[in-house]
Structure formats: structure tokens, C-alpha cells
Structure 1
Amino acid sequence: MYQISNIYVLAAFGTIGGALFGFDVSSMSAWLAAPQYLEYFNYPNSNVQGGITASMSGGSFLGALAAGFLADKWGRKVALQIACVIFMVGCVIVCASQNVGMLIAGRIINGLSIGICSSQVCVYLAELSPAKIRGRVVGIQQWAIEWGILIMYLLCYGTQRTVEGPAAFRIAWGVQAIPAFILLGALFFFPESPRWLAGRERWEEVHTTLANLHGNGDPSDTIVLAELEEVRKAQAVAAQAQGVGFMQLFGPKIWKRTLAGTSVQMWQQLLGGNVAMYYVVYIFQMSGMSGNTSLTSSIIQYVIFLVTTGCMLPVIDRFGRRQLLLGGAFVCMILHYTTAAVMATYGVPVDQVDGNSNLRILITGAPGKAVISLSYIFTGIYGLTWAPIGWIYASEVFPLKYRAKGVGLSAATNWIFNFALAYFLPPAFTNITWKTYIVFGTFCTAMIFHIFFTYPETARKSLEEIDILFDSNIPPWKSAKAQASVLDERAFQVEHKNESIDEKIETVDIV
């Protein structure tokens, strides 16, 4: 069978997997104030709406945990094909929903697919890509998510304005299955990951695949031979790591890295991005907007998110990871506290807003416009900093033999907090109104101190240098200028037949 060998074509189709997450985000957020949705599902209260929104994240948590097993057993490509089929099944159920229970069931099934895609698309594309562009793959995945959010939101906006009754949301929820169908078909023409093939000792196929991808079909190309040697070394490390499980991630030599990788994913959620992504319509309704005006303003917010991340990706390695994480957290902290102050000072308690009884505060006039402006600024800062960096940092802190399990656990952490916040926000807007922003401001304050005192700088450093930083006594706030000048000895000793090889650094000079 003919196989696609152009890496850019592969990436263009492959990132559809990330876009599926974006589709599912805005497939719900766009309908929160729509009469077609509210009337059909009997105006769900804050707890019910939180459950509907969070159901996708709950499914994604389970999918992320299962993704590694699927990808290791049947291959990266087959795992993504399974995810596409699951997503299409979920779309059928969501599209045909007759009640809230059926809608939640369909979103959980969609979430299973998204959990697999979110953890495996980047791994798959990185294993296909030349080394010189691998570092950008994770960021491109985030950008694909943002494109998915915007495209689906625009589709929902169009159906709301042109279609009457439940057919409006059924069309939008059904159409989101089309990209999954396209990706499913395209994957038949994708090569399997050379690293997965190497794990099955299928070295002739590995060589052929690398030649097609990186050498225009020439197996004797020097780049191809270099890549082949890299895959052999990676497979040797992978073979040593066969006994590595989740518990080993908390061992004495690795727990600091596990804490950094999982906590950066936790903080990415607690920063408050869910407010801007899932419940943007609620924010604009509370700020005095309604109907099409609210929807149009939400579109602007998603465009800001897309543009800021797109502008950052080409230059992201010029900045330190710590700089972007700390700077983003500090600015977002100020924005949250300022939003809370404006809402507390100028907000008027009400029984409902624009027919939505989940919202109990209204801010009109100039203060309402200020809240909207603060939301736009927050989205821009989030797109420039935490949206891409949270994923990049988690993928850099783990040593190679722990990376698959470590990144998987980090992704699962992201999804479980995503689930919690998606469920928390509607009741929060109902019960504590403006104090919701105080909660997120407090999280931002806490993460500033945590990042400053525990996160070493990883930008523009080799994996060996990152290992040394985590194992050394160098304060994280001084790690940006630290470089390993001498690596005297790296000894590998086999303790038992099925145990991984211990890594020991005898002498290191840090300047």
C-alpha cells in the first residue's frame, strides 16, 4: 500500500487528533446560552451543566491512562485509528441525545478518544519527525487544539442563527465526526512509528520507513543511517525500561521530576484557562451581553487565543521556560484579582441573567466592558505562556527511559483537574459569583512560589544537562546560567535480568 512520506503532510493530517479536543470544547461552550439547547434539555441547573461539561474530561482521563497500553500493544497508528472510531461512536450518541444522561454518555465516549489522541498524537509525530523539528511538535499540537475550538465555535454560531429547534445542535455535534473520519482514512496511508517497529525487531521495516521519511527513499543516505542508529539506541534504552511502572516515577532519583511534570499540568488547569475556554459565554452574559453579541464576543476571544499561540511558537525557544511560566502566572494573578474587584464593586445581585438562573450577578456599562477586556487580556497571556509551555515542560523533565510513563501520568493529571474545574465552575458562578476569581488568583499566587523554588530551567539544555540540574544542589532560580562542563563518568550497571539499568554520575563540574 502507498504510504505518505512527506513529514509536513503527515503533521497536517496528524494534528487533526489534537483538533478533536478543540471541537469538543466549543461544541459545548457555544450552546450554554442557546435557546435550542436550553429548551430541549430543560434548562440544566449549575450542577447538571457542570456534569455535562466535565463528562468529556472524565472520559479523557481514562483514555489517557489507557493510551500507553494501546499504543505499545498495537502500535501508534492503530491506537489513533481506534481513537477515531471511538470518537465517531461518541458523536453519533451525542448527536442523537434524547436526554441529559445520553448526552453525558456520548461526551464520556468522546473523551476516551480525546484522551488517547492528546497523549499519542505528539508521540507519534515526534517519532516520525526529523530531530531538528521535534521540539515544535508539542506546541503545534496545542495550536491544533485552538484551531479546533475556533472552527467548531463558528460552526455552532452558524447553526444557532440559521436552524430552528434541536436540529441546530444536532448538526454541529454530528459534523465534528467528519474530521475523525478523515483522520481514520488517512492513517491507513501513514507509516508505523519506526520506534514501535524497532521494539518488535522489525529492523528492515524501520530502515525502509526512515529512508522514505528522511532520505527520499535512499536507504544509504547519511541522515537515514544516523537516524537508524538513534532508533537502535532508543530501543536499547526502551528495553532497559520494560520494568518501569508508575510507582518507579516516585523513586528517590526521579520524584522531583515527576513532581515538576505533573504539577505543571495541574497548575496549567488551576491558572484559570477553563474559565476562558469552557464558560466564556457565561462571562460575557454576566457582563451585560446577550444573544448574538455574546457569541460574537466569544469568537473574538478564541481568535486571540489562536493568534497569540501562533505568534509564540516560532520564537518560543528564545525564552526561558521559567520566564514564561512565572511571567504568565504573575500577570494572570493580577488579572484575576482585578476582575474580582470590578465584579464585587460594580456587580448587582440578580436571580438570573438573560434567562440563565445559573448566573446570579450582572455587571453592566463600563465595568462590564472592563470585565470583557480583562478576559481578552487573560486569554492572550494564556496563549503566549501557559497554553504551550505547560505541555513542553512536562515532556522535557523526564529522562528518556521514564518519559513515556511520566508524560502519560502528567497528561492524566491535566485531565483530572480539567474534569474537576469543568464541574466546579457553574456552581461557583451560581454560589460565590465574583469570589470564583479570587480562588483562581490564589492558585496563581501559590504557583508563582512553587515554580520559583522548584522548577529548574530546561530551555536550550541537553537532556544530560537537565538530568544534572535535577540531581545537583543548584537552586532552580540560578539554573538558567548553569551548564555542565564536564561529565566525567556515566556508568550503567545491570543489577538483574529484568531490571532497568541504573544511571550514576560520579563527578560533575558546574560553572
Structure 2
Amino acid sequence: MAPKEIRGRIGSFFQMFYTIGIFTSYWVDYAVLQRISPHSPSQWQIPIALQIIPAGLLGFGCLTLPESVRWLTKKGRHDEAWTSLQWIRADSSSSTMEEMEEIRTGVEMERHATEGLTVKELTERQNLSRLGTAAAVFTAQQATGATAFAYFGPQYFKLLVNGSAAKNLLLTAIFGAIKVAACGFFVLFLSERVGRRQVLIWGAVFMAACQISTAAVVKAKPPPAKVGDGGVTSSGIATVALIYLFVIAYNLSWGPLPWPYVSEIFPTRIREIGIAVGVSSQWLFNFVFSLTTPYMITNMGWGTFLLWGLFDAVIAVFTFFFLKETRGLSLEEIVHNDFEEVRDHKVIDVEDNGK
């Protein structure tokens, strides 16, 4: 549905609304903690029940959506496809008609492009490279440590300041607000103005610096042994600030960018499979780090921050050597550039193969 001029921005909206959901949940939890006795089952029942509201709105909202233009075109329902495109673009001018023709042409080319696709093709050098890149990018997104912070914020802030439950949850709620502000700034003002590759490199470098610095401070000056003993120390304030800077860097880089980046690196023939591989990798490692993070916090302490920092440093190196720039290029140009590179290295001979 998205024109290439704003494809990066639209793709990044996934992360934007993800952060809004996290932000909302933190403040709901904080309000419930403040207002309801910790011994009451309502303290967990209310946050769970409130999730029914956005789910219901989403379900009813979907009833108002017309079917996908491309899907309708694939099925030969061209009149309905034209009606759907007019609704999506809120326009029926000649430019929209030209886009409709481009979609019809594209769908026909896609049909020919995906005909006879076999598993063996996925193991060809370029296809395997793209699949590996997609999996690696989304694995890296989870390995930054940001998702672990989102899920276990109060436990992390306890490592930093050893405050009361309310204080730890308040710090986490502020963490959520910063996530929304940083991601919103990126989506609205930066997503189509900066190169994908450079932002991913420097985002990882900055996150590594924040995490490793946090580990060093917590090791050198750990928080008070007793909960709330002596209030928050200057070292505690410094580490909280470093984590807030970390989450700003994440939401200006590795939070929103993997979504549009991975969708751009595949040719039509294997795009659906490629994106599925990437997103599956994301959820696999989301599960892995969600499962292991509580044990890391308990057993490693300050070493948890060091581990995330080292992961971020490795991610920066990986990005520098293996990821290519895709901003401002059409999907066809990105694939063509890869094809030319393969030809230049004589992996295939274009003329002999007739392809």
C-alpha cells in the first residue's frame, strides 16, 4: 500500500505503535500499583482486562477496511481493486489511474516471477545471502537488549538504583515515554532523510557505549544494599540517564529500521518467504531473550549490561561489513544492484544462461 517515497516511514510505524503500547502498559501498571492494594487480585486483573479494549477496536476497525488492491488484482477482480485503491489514496486522478496500471503490470510480473519456485532456489548464493541477512538483522534487533528492557524494566532499574517497587516502575514508565518520543521523532522527521546503513551502524555504536558504561559504573559503585536506603545516588542517576540515552538511540535506529530494511532487500520471487524468515527470527530470539533475561539479571548483575554492550558492538561491526544502503532506491534497483555485483564477480554468466 505504501508509495516508495514514504515506504520507510510507513514501515517504521510498526515500531512506533509498538512503543505506544508499551508506554501505555507501563503507566497503567504504575497507576494500579499506586491505587490498589498489592494483596488484591485486581492489581493484575485490571491491566489484563484493559487489553480487551484495543483488541476490540482493532477487530471492529478491520470491518471497515476494503480488501488489498494487489490481492484483488491477483484474483482478477479489477473493478473492486480500483475502488480499493481510490479509497486508500483518497484520490481518483490520472496519477492514481497510472498507479493502478503499474500495480496490474507488477502483479502480472510477480505471477511470472514466482512461478515454479522451488526450495532449491532458496539455497542459491544470492538468495541464501538475503535470507541470512534478514534473519541476522532481526536477531540483531533483539540482541541489542532493548526488548529485554521493555519486558523487564523494573528489574533492570532495581539493579541500577535498588529503589522501591513504585520507584522502579516509575522509572520504567518514564523509560516508556522516552521510547515513544524518540521513535515518533524518527518516524516523522528522520525516516526518509537519513541512510539506513549509517544510522544502524552509529545506533549500535552508541548503544554499546551506553551499556558498557552502565556496566562499569554499576560495578564500581553499586546501589545501596537495602531497598530505598539513602535514596538514589549520583551513580544511580548516571546509570539511569545512560539507559535513557540507550533507548533513545535504539528508537532512532534498530527499533524502527529493520522493518523497512528487510522488506527492501528481496526480489519479488522470494520476498514473502524472505520477510517470513526475518520476522520468524525476530520472534524466536524475542522468546530466547525473554526466557533468559531474568536469569541473567539474577546471576550476572552488572555483567548483564556488559553482555548487551558487547552484543551491540558486534552488531555495529556486522552492519559495517555486511549491510548495504537501500534508502531512495526502488525495490527493483536494489535487486538489480545485487545482480550486477554477482555478474561482476562471474558467479553467473548472464548471456550463457539467458536470464
TM-score over 0.5 for the pair: yes
When residues 246 and 226 of structure 1 are mapped into structure 2, their CA distance, relative to the original with a 3 A threshold, is farther
In 2: Cα distance, 1:139 partner to 1:209 partner = 23
In 2: Cα distance, 1:242 partner to 1:185 partner = 36
For residues 288-367 of structure 1, what are the structure 2 equivalents within 5 Å?
288-313=162-187, 314-347=189-222, 354=227, 365-367=233-235
Q: Name the counterpart of 1:416.
A: 284
Q: Name the counterpart of 2:268.
A: 400
Aligned AA (2:297): F
Aligned AA (1:159): V
Q: Name the counterpart of 1:236.
A: 108
For residues 471-486 of structure 1, what are the structure 2 equivalents within 5 Å?
471-473=339-341
For 1:143, which of 9, 16, 29 is the aligned residue?
Answer: 16
The answer for unaligned runs of 5 or more in structure 2 is 343-349
Deviation of 1:174 after TM superposition, in Å, equals 0.9
When residues 214 and 383 of structure 1 are mapped into structure 2, their CA distance, relative to the original with a 3 A threshold, is closer
In 2: Cα distance, 1:421 partner to 1:213 partner = 38
Aligned AA (1:456): K
For 1:166, which of 41, 45, 48 is the aligned residue?
Answer: 41
Q: For this pair of structures, how many residues does the alignment match?
A: 342
CA deviations over 1:70-92 (Å, ceiling 9, x no partner): xxxxxxxxxxxxxxxxxxxxxxx
In 1: Cα distance, 2:45 partner to 2:101 partner = 51
Q: Taking every aligned residue pair, what percent have the same amino acid on both sides?
A: 29
Deviation of 1:463 after TM superposition, in Å, equals 2.4
Runs of 4+ with >6 A deviation = none
CA deviations over 1:461-505 (Å, ceiling 9, x no partner): 23233224323449xxxxxxxxxxxxxxx99xxxxxxxxxx994x
CA deviations over 1:125-170 (Å, ceiling 9, x no partner): xx3x455444321111211111111112212222222223111211
Deviation of 1:269 after TM superposition, in Å, equals 0.8
The answer for unaligned runs of 5 or more in structure 1 is 1-126, 356-362, 475-489, 492-501, 505-511
CA deviations over 1:357-389 (Å, ceiling 9, x no partner): xxxxxx962222222111111011111111111
Q: Is 2:325 the counterpart of 1:451?
A: no
Deviation of 1:395 after TM superposition, in Å, equals 1.3
In 1: Cα distance, 2:119 partner to 2:210 partner = 37
When residues 213 and 332 of structure 1 are mapped into structure 2, their CA distance, relative to the original with a 3 A threshold, is closer
For the 8 Å contact 2:223–2:233, the answer to whether it is kept is no
CA deviations over 1:49-97 (Å, ceiling 9, x no partner): xxxxxxxxxxxxxxxxxxxxxxxxxxxxxxxxxxxxxxxxxxxxxxxxx
Deviation of 1:223 after TM superposition, in Å, equals 2.4
In 1: Cα distance, 2:143 partner to 2:107 partner = 37
When residues 207 and 159 of structure 1 are mapped into structure 2, their CA distance, relative to the original with a 3 A threshold, is same
Q: Is 2:81 the counterpart of 1:206?
A: yes
Q: Name the counterpart of 2:69.
A: 194
Q: Secondary structure at the match of 1:190?
A: coil
Aligned AA (1:306): V
Q: Secondary structure at the match of 1:386?
A: coil
Aligned AA (1:275): A
For the 8 Å contact 2:182–2:252, the answer to whether it is kept is yes
In 1: Cα distance, 2:51 partner to 2:125 partner = 45
When residues 156 and 400 of structure 1 are mapped into structure 2, their CA distance, relative to the original with a 3 A threshold, is same
In 2: Cα distance, 1:269 partner to 1:191 partner = 34
In 1: Cα distance, 2:134 partner to 2:125 partner = 16
For the 8 Å contact 2:154–2:165, the answer to whether it is kept is no
Deviation of 1:315 after TM superposition, in Å, equals 2.1
Deviation of 1:292 after TM superposition, in Å, equals 2.2
In 1: Cα distance, 2:245 partner to 2:107 partner = 45
Q: Name the counterpart of 1:27.
A: none
The CA RMSD measured in Å over matched residues stands at 2.7
